[in-house]
């Protein structure tokens, strides 16, 4: 492997400038799901285009059915033998609400110590995903400064709809698959195993979102006049939702587990050796007892088992004081986390049939597709990309990376496999306390520094003499 010492030294030299660039990107309130911020999304995308162009990339914006894509291309001097890497990130962020819970303005990044005493940059998007994607771009910057060219062909693809509707990018890739053909995708949108141990993620759950509304009486009714005689949609919907799980935590929708494969015994043993701190994991959020499927460890519940979760339920009067009504309708929002082998469309149909079968007389139901439709993904651990990352991460952190799974979804991984026929290397440097999607989101300066250095080492794996 080419020794990356000079590149690592350049990363350290330019770190204050790298941090300033991260702060500049964080100042854009690029909330992709909010029409009021579509202009901010385009400005953030244009900023990234300018940064890539400054690195010597051929760069520009590409229009989609949603937010614009940032596309940059670098072709090395010896392009005919070089592998082609596709790097992916996203510039859109979650809404910052509730604003009153932030210690500083969410789009005015501040550097201060976190609860653990480590210095961090606090802002919406610091960890998810602006700080993360910048680790790769800054590693590339340092490599180009020292060597003049990367050891592989590189296409950078940064989207603005990851936090909302993944179908925009999926449709774009389907239409332009030939143009974005590559050997592997690098994605920096995951986390460390613990504060000092890196991780390579090889398992992701898919996701579908549903909204269900049960309607009963034509209008809200006086509970004194109609209570006991009229169907109450909140009661009906509550009974349906309560029936989703049996007494052992299994999901009771017929056919829900079709295609779900058991965790191989060897993998279960490897996960047990990780000694995941179940009690602390729950205690950190004010809980104490695992509430998922019986017979599975917390890690198995998070990484290898599907779920059905109620994300919100509402109906009737929600103002101050009392209002004695029987509501005309009740609504719930749900998400289903899926594992490899499950068919999202089949799960959606099965859920809707499950609800209809439990609907009493005088009630109607309607459904709204809330997006998702992504499948669970397992990435092979024996690829040259994973092997390269193992070596590089161990060199940077002084300990071997843990091969992990994740309970969340990255729909783009499925899109890359489906349309481009490639697997993804999932390496990230987020910490458990980064508060992604929550107030006071942050990214440790150590994550930014070591993440940038780690990517430089991974790049070096492709520069063998």
User: Would the pTM count as exceeding 0.85?
Assistant: yes
For the chain, the first-to-last Cα distance in angstroms comes to 7
Whether residue 360 sits in one domain with residue 401: no
pLDDT of the residue at 68:
98
CATH number where 252 lies: 3.30.70.360
Is a pLDDT exceeding 60 seen at residue 2?
no
Q: How many CA atoms lie within 13 A of 289 on its CB side?
A: 2
pLDDT above 90 coverage of the chain, percent:
88
pLDDT mean over 331-350 = 96
55 and 37 together in one domain: yes
Task: Check residue 285 and give its pLDDT.
Answer: 85
Q: Across the strands, what pairs with 405?
A: 203
Number of domains in the chain: 2
270 domain residue, yes or no: no
Question: For position 264, what pLDDT does the model report?
Answer: 86
Same domain, 316 and 245: yes
Angstrom CA distances, 323 to 236, 326, 327, 451, stand at 20, 9, 10, 54
Check whether 372 has a pLDDT greater than 90. no
The per-residue pLDDT for 465 is 42
Tell me if 292 is assigned to some domain: no
**CA atoms of 344 and 167, how far apart (whole Å):** 14
**Residue 226 is inside which H or E element, if any?**
helix 223-226
* Same domain (yes/no): 200, 240: no
User: Could you tell me if 134 and 254 lie in one domain?
Assistant: no
CB 310, CB 336: distance < 8 Å: no
Task: Say if residue 356 is in the same domain as residue 431.
Answer: no
- 309/297 Cα distance (integer angstroms): 18
pLDDT at residue 255 above 70?
Answer: yes
Please report the pLDDT score of residue 368 as a whole number.
96
Residue that is last in its domain, among 333, 348, 369: 369
Q: Are residues 230 and 348 in the same domain?
A: yes
- Pairing mode, strands 377-378 and 364-369: unpaired
pLDDT in tens, 70-122: 999 999 877 667 899 999 999 999 999 999 999 999 999 999 998 888 999 99
Q: What is the mean pLDDT of the chain?
A: 95
- Do 167 and 28 share a structural domain? yes
Asked whether the bond before 428 is cis by omega within 30 degrees of 0, the reply is no
The domain that holds 147 is classified in CATH as 3.40.630.10
Q: Within a domain: residue 285?
A: no
CA angle 111, 42, 73 (to 5 degrees): 90
Residue 392 to residue 403: CA distance in whole angstroms: 14
Residues 198 and 324 in one domain: no
Among residues 211, 232, 228, 229, which one has the least CA distance to residue 220? 232
Answer yes or no: is 293 within a domain: no
Give the CB-side neighbour count of residue 181, counting CA atoms within 13 A.
2
The CA dihedral of 324, 326, 327, 332, to the nearest 10 degrees, is 100
Residue 113's DSSP bridge partners are: 119
Task: State the average pLDDT over residues 43-60.
Answer: 98
- Asked which of 348, 369, 390 is the last residue of a domain, the reply is 369
Domain membership flag for residue 399: yes
Asked if 68 and 61 touch (Cβ cutoff 8 Å), the reply is yes
pLDDT value at 371 more than 80: no
| Together in a domain, 92 and 53 | yes
Judge whether residue 331 has pLDDT over 90: yes
Residue 67 included in any domain: yes
Q: How confident is the model at residue 464 (pLDDT cuts 50, 70, 90)?
A: low
21 in a structural domain: yes
Using the 3D structure, point to which of 369, 404, 424 is the last residue of a domain.
Answer: 369
The answer to which of 1-5, 230-234, 282-286, 409-413 has the lowest mean pLDDT is 1-5
Same-domain status, 57 and 175: yes
58 & 107 share domain: yes
Residue 447 scores a pLDDT above 60: yes
Asked whether residue 22 carries a pLDDT value surpassing 70, the answer given is yes
Whether 81 is covered by a domain: the verdict is: yes
Give the range of the structural domain holding residue 154, as residue numbers without chain letter.
Answer: 5-204+378-460
163-212 pLDDT, tens digit each: 988 899 999 999 999 999 999 999 999 999 999 999 999 999 999 999 99
How confident is residue 1, by pLDDT bands cut at 50, 70 and 90? very low
| Mean pLDDT of all residues in 55-63 | 98
Mean pLDDT throughout 398-408?
Answer: 93
């Amino acid at each position: 492997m080419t020794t990356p010492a000079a590149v690592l030294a350049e990363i350290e030299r330019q770190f204050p400038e790298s941090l300033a660039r991260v702060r500049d990107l964080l100042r854009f309130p690029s909330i992709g799901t909010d029409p009021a911020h579509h202009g901010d999304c385009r400005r953030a995308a244009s900023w990234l285009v300018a940064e890539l162009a400054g690195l010597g990339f051929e760069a520009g914006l590409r229009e989609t059915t949603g937010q614009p894509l940032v596309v940059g291309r670098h072709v090395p001097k010896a392009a005919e033998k070089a592998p082609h890497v596709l790097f992916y990130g996203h510039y859109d962020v979650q809404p910052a609400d509730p604003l009153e819970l932030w210690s500083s303005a969410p789009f005015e990044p501040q550097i201060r110590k976190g609860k653990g005493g480590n210095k961090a940059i606090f802002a919406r998007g610091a960890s998810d995903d602006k700080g993360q994607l910048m680790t790769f771009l800054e590693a590339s910057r340092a490599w180009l400064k020292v060597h003049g060219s990367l050891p592989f062909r590189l296409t950078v693809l940064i989207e603005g709809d990851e936090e909302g509707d993944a179908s925009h990018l999926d449709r774009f890739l389907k239409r332009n698959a030939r143009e974005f053909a590559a050997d592997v995708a690098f994605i920096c949108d995951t986390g460390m195993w613990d504060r000092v141990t890196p991780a390579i993620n090889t398992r992701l759950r898919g996701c579908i979102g549903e909204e269900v509304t049960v309607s009963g009486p034509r209008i809200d009714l006086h509970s004194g006049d109609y209570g006991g005689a009229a169907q109450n949609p909140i009661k009906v919907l509550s009974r349906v939702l309560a029936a989703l799980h049996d007494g052992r935590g299994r999901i009771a929708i017929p056919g829900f587990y079709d295609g779900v494969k058991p965790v191989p015994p060897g993998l279960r043993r490897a996960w047990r050796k990780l000694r995941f701190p179940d009690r602390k994991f729950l205690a950190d959020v004010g809980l104490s007892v695992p509430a998922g499927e019986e017979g599975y460890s917390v890690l198995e519940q998070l990484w290898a088992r599907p779920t059905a979760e109620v994300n919100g339920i509402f109906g009737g009067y929600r103002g101050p004081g009392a209002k004695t009504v029987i509501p005309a309708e009740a609504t719930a929002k749900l998400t289903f986390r899926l594992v490899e082998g499950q068919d999202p469309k089949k799960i959606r149909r099965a859920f809707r049939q499950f609800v209809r079968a439990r609907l009493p007389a005088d009630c109607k139901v309607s459904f709204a597709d809330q997006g998702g439709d992504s499948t669970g993904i397992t990435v092979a651990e024996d690829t040259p990309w994973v092997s390269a990352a193992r070596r590089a991460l161990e060199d940077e952190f002084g300990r071997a990376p843990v091969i992990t799974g994740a309970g969340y979804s990255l729909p783009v991984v499925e899109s890359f496999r489906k349309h481009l026929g490639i697997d993804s290397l999932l390496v990230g440097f987020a910490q458990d306390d980064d508060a992604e999607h929550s107030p006071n989101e942050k990214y440790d300066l150590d994550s930014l520094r070591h993440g940038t250095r780690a990517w430089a080492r991974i790049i070096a794996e492709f520069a063998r003499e």
